[in-house]
Amino acid sequence: MNDYTVISSRVRFARNLQGFRFPSAMGEEEAERATALVLSALQKRGLTGFYMRDLPETVRRVLLEQDLISKELYSAKRGAVATAEDDKFSVMVLEEDCLRLAVVEKGLTLRSAYDRLSQEEVAISSAIPFAFDKNFGYLTACVTNLGTGMRASVMLFLPALERAGKIPSLCQELSAMGLTVRGVLGEGTDSEHSVYQVSNAKSLGVTEEEIIAAVTKAALQLSELELSARRIEFNRFPHAVENRVKRAEGMLRSATLLSYGEMMQALSAVKEGVSLGILLERGDLDDLTVAMRPAHVEALAGKTLSREERDFFRAEYVRKIFTK
């Protein structure tokens, strides 16, 4: 049974170009040369690259909702983004570093994500040398990324732990282990609808293998704690939990207008209901969390929509899934 605790895994490498300054110190001419150099190398790897200045606002919003670009690159007038055909591998160009290479996969799959990212990085580095120091490892704009330049993160759904008030103490425990907890959209963001990212806090003085092992272990422990908290709550208040779950399912089956926040709140209850055996398993719930964001809804509709039109489209789309 899908317990809907672990949502996805992400591995990211921060890299800079040998012979170039960090993006924040680049003038326009150097930035243009660096971007063109990187995009040329990425295109040879089969990635489709786009200059940020050429992307329409709607496309930028879709990429941001997919976590393929950061808030900083979303607002940038320069730089670029490149994605693989399956959207699992992407590269941000001239964000904080010259390159931010990342692979995102469903489930607790840090190992396979890391393996793919390593293969891509080796191939790209053969065309464009990366800035590296024998003492400090890969040179990065932020000192916390020195060394491996690697950030491994797992996205988890932790509503029961959140309701029990356990998140702050867990964050402190993870911090003592060299790990950090962030919101769904990364550094500087809050949790959104009980979704959190756990990741390594540093990349200097640790190996890539150690990072993967530590983050994987933490994700498994958090998942077990979350399931235990759900079971305790259900055992104490069975009728209240079942009522909340079934009311949420009823909303998703019948609502005419559905805001993103309302949908996420209802989905949260339904996912818990599946994990507790109250509802039958569904495999497509986590996909809706991205597919039903505002920019994605407009992309599916093929036009700009008002808030009410988006809510109507979202409700209709979700109803079809829940009445299959």
Which sequence spans correspond to the domains of the chain? 6-227, 237-322
Question: Smallest Cα–Cα separation from 275: which of 51, 1, 54?
Answer: 1
DSSP code per residue over 209-264: HHHHHHHHHHHHHHHHHHHHHHHHHHHHSHHHHHHHHHHHHHHHHH-SS--HHHHH
Has 171 been annotated as catalytic? no
Of the residues 142, 163, 210, 308, only one is catalytic, namely 142
* 12 part of the active site: yes
Helix (H, G, I), strand (E, B) or coil at 30: helix
Which residue in the list 5, 10, 12, 121 is annotated as catalytic?
A: 12
Structure confidence at residue 235 (pLDDT): 97
> Choosing from 21, 45, 78, 187, which is the catalytic residue?
187
Q: Is 100 a catalytic residue?
A: yes
Q: Is 151 a catalytic residue?
A: yes
Q: Decide: 131 and 48 in contact? Cβ < 8 Å.
A: no
Beta strands 195-200 and 150-157, pairing class: antiparallel
Q: Is 144 labeled as catalytic in the residue annotation?
A: yes
Active-site residue 29, yes or no? no
Say which of 15, 60, 100, 244 is annotated catalytic: 100
- Which one of 10, 15, 61, 151 is the catalytic residue? 151
Secondary-structure class of domain 6-227 per CATH: alpha beta
Confidence (pLDDT) at 1: 56
What is the pTM for the complete model shown? 0.90
Q: What single-letter amino acid sits at 34? A: A
Residue 191's pLDDT is 62
Cβ-Cβ contacts under 8 Å for 222 (sequence gap 6 or more): 5, 156, 158, 161, 170, 198
Per annotation, catalytic residue among 60, 65, 83, 96: 96
Walking along the chain (324 residues) 10 residues at a time, the average pLDDT comes out as: 87 97 96 96 91 93 91 92 91 96 95 96 94 94 92 96 95 94 59 88 92 97 97 97 97 96 94 93 84 95 96 96 84
Active-site pick, 15, 182, 244, 310: 182
